[in-house]
Amino acid sequence: MILYVVGIGPGHPGGMTLEAKAALEQCGVIAGYTVYTALLRQHLPEKEYYSTPMRQEEERCRWALLSAAAGKSVALVCSGDAGIYGMAGLLYQLRASLPEAAEVEIRVIPGVTAANSGAALLGAPLTHDFAVISLSDLLTDAETIWERVRAAAESGMIICLYNPASRKRKTYLRTACDLILRYRRPETVCGYVRNIGREGETSGVLTLAALRDFAADMFTTIYIGNETTIQVGGHMVTPRGYPAERTQTSAAPVGGSGRIVIFGGTSEGTALYRHCMAYGVSAVICVATAYGAQTLEEARETYAEADRQTGAEAMDVEIRTGRLTAEEMERLVVSEHAPVVLDATHPYAQEATANIRQACAASHVPYRRVRRTVLEAHAQDRQAGTFFFDTIGDAVLFLSGQPGNILVTTGSREIRAYTALPDFRNRLYVRVLPEPDTIRTCMDLGIAGRHLSAMQGPFTEDMNYGFLKEFDIRWLVTKQSGGPGGFYEKRSAAVRAGAGLLVIRKPDEDGITLREAIAILEEMRK
């Protein structure tokens, strides 16, 4: 007695595996959801069919088990893969509770799930790590769904969403996009496929900002890219960074034959570094701190291991650590014959940006500022208890008239400004990077002991909340640094702890997006 549970793929015969076709052809009875059995009737009209509507999955599985126990040759069908949001798990559970079906052997026949078949229509969006999440709350509570969406967004993985909307869940896709926008840029490349493998099949590529207002339904599969995902000829593509991809191109760098110079130390800088490795672009990337160099070295090791395994040559990407003056930057740019300089330093590192601009102007090398997109317009940022200031001085002036302890997370360079606060030695707590010079600066200003936390992020919401509760913090000061700077975790923690949130606005800046900077790297492949 064998019961086949068969994943029939997206719905058309061409998308079905040979193993699935063989199982269906040898079975006399096919059971399944009404929509799926209707699809099969067109191609296997001679079979006996048993179907039930939505929400009668348990009845359908029970019938299939008992029919197989009675000697019938049964195939229970599922769209896509039977083990991915399918009936395979429920069948095993029910068999354990049905003594009369105890001898039935369950054989799971894999199928092509929507994530795979839809991705093929869009191009190649899933060539790196990805997460699949269903937005249906029939079997999973909404709170759990949103926590999984948030975690996937924070992880940097590509996200594939099943069941993005229905008549009762019209706003779920928008809610998911709002959560993801906390960690990804509005211009993030996304895609959708509707009615995969069926009549009326449509697909398209759009931005995350546009996806927020997209009219999806239960037959739509959504793909949300990460910081590396690009649009190539109308297709959605996430580069993997294979050594072959990095060595088989031969286009000379645009604008010169030297190494591109990147000033980083941010998530944007790290993304550009990874793309230099992926595209085979000769580059020098400069970071001010040892931690910035460590982050890049970890990314380098990933590629070095791949190179060792494939025998590919190492990429010509050099990491330089330490702060440079404008004159030192100019000498570097000239000595490297840089075709262009990409400034991906922190948006608040205005002195560094001024020096880089000066160096490029003096050496007549094209300068491109890579700006960070931060949306202040999120409704969560306008909630009571959140205050925006243009400068740290303005925030300090405000705090001078407010009681309670203060946690400052705006960096070590501006710590001196907070010493103007009344009784700052008792009220002020700071969190800075664990670097000797930084710690020494704080201690010289009189900030030490429990008032000085030297730790390296990123910090989760729970970690931030722990800080606030441990030190009885009434005010949390942060910069408007967006997802890469941990802004949203700080904001959520402040809300939980009942602390006021003081936000130093990101300086206005012109420049290009990370996506446009990556396009420059693509043009400069070896």
Number of Cβ within 10 Å of residue 198's Cβ equals 14
Across-strand partners of 9? 80
Percent of the chain with pLDDT over 70: 89
Sheet harboring 367-369: ordered strands across? 317-321, 283-287, 260-263, 341-343, 367-369
For the ranges 123-127, 136-140, 408-412, the lowest mean pLDDT is seen at 408-412
Instruction: Name, in order, each residue with C-beta under 8 angstroms of 412's C-beta and a sequence gap of 6 or more.
Output: 430, 432, 433, 438, 441, 442
Amino acid residing at 97: S
What is the C-alpha to C-alpha distance for residues 323 and 288, in angstroms, rounded to an integer?
5
pLDDT(482) > 70? no
What is the C-alpha to C-alpha distance for residues 82 and 32, in angstroms, rounded to an integer?
11
Residue 156 region by backbone torsions, left for phi larger than 0, else alpha for psi between -120 and 50, else beta: left
Task: Decide: residue 128, CB within 10 A, 0-12 exposed, 13-18 middle, 19+ buried.
Answer: middle
DSSP string covering 334-359: HHTT-S-EEE-S-TT-HHHHHHHHHH
pTM for the model stands at 0.52
pLDDT, tens digit (0-9, with 9 covering 90-100), for 238-292: 887 654 444 333 333 334 468 999 999 888 888 888 888 777 788 999 998 887 8
Would you state the pLDDT for residue 228? 83
SS3 179: helix
Would you state the pLDDT for residue 234? 84
Cis peptide before 339 (omega within 30 of 0): no
Would you state the pLDDT for residue 512? 83
In whole numbers, what is the pLDDT of the chain averaged over residues?
85
Percent of the chain with pLDDT over 90: 47
Q: At what angle do helices 88-97 and 57-69 cross, to 10 degrees?
A: 60
**Strands, E assignment, 324-466:** 341-343, 367-369, 386-389, 405-408, 428-432, 452-454
Would you state the pLDDT for residue 280? 79
The structure tokens 């595209």 sit at 279
Instruction: Name, in order, each residue with C-beta under 8 angstroms of 78's C-beta and a sequence gap of 6 or more.
Output: 5, 6, 7, 8, 32, 33, 36, 86, 87, 88, 111
